[in-house]
């Protein structure tokens, strides 16, 4: 079992706070909902270009996505 990372925790929290489903996030950034699910379970990691898209969508910085204190 993979250890859940600050990134995966923050991604899920920020997505849920904004009322977005994994499918909606995937549609907006151009991936399948399964990919978003794998990011949230720390099974895979997005590219830097994708991190920038996610940060923009969620209204945070890329650094916030990795913050151990939960980011914005």
Q: Which two tokens stand for residue 1?
A: 């079992």
CB-CB neighbours of 27 under 10 Å: 14
**Residue-wise pLDDT tens digits, 20-49:** 999 999 999 999 999 999 999 999 999 999
Domains of the chain: 6-64 (1.10.260.40)
Q: How many angstroms separate the CA atoms of 35 and 72, rounded?
A: 23
Residue with tokens 């895979």: 44
> How many CB atoms are located within 10 Å of the residue 10 CB?
23
φ, ψ of residue 10 to 5 degrees: the values are -65, -40
Whole-structure pTM value = 0.90
Q: Does residue 1 have a pLDDT over 80?
A: no
């Amino acid at each position: 079992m993979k250890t859940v990372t600050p990134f995966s925790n923050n991604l899920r929290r920020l997505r849920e706070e904004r009322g977005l489903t994994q499918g909606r996030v995937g549609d907006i950034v151009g991936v399948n909902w399964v990919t978003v699910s794998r990011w949230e379970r720390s099974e895979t990691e997005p590219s830097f270009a994708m991190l920038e898209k996610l940060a923009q969508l969620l209204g945070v910085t890329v650094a916030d996505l990795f913050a151990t204190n939960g980011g914005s």
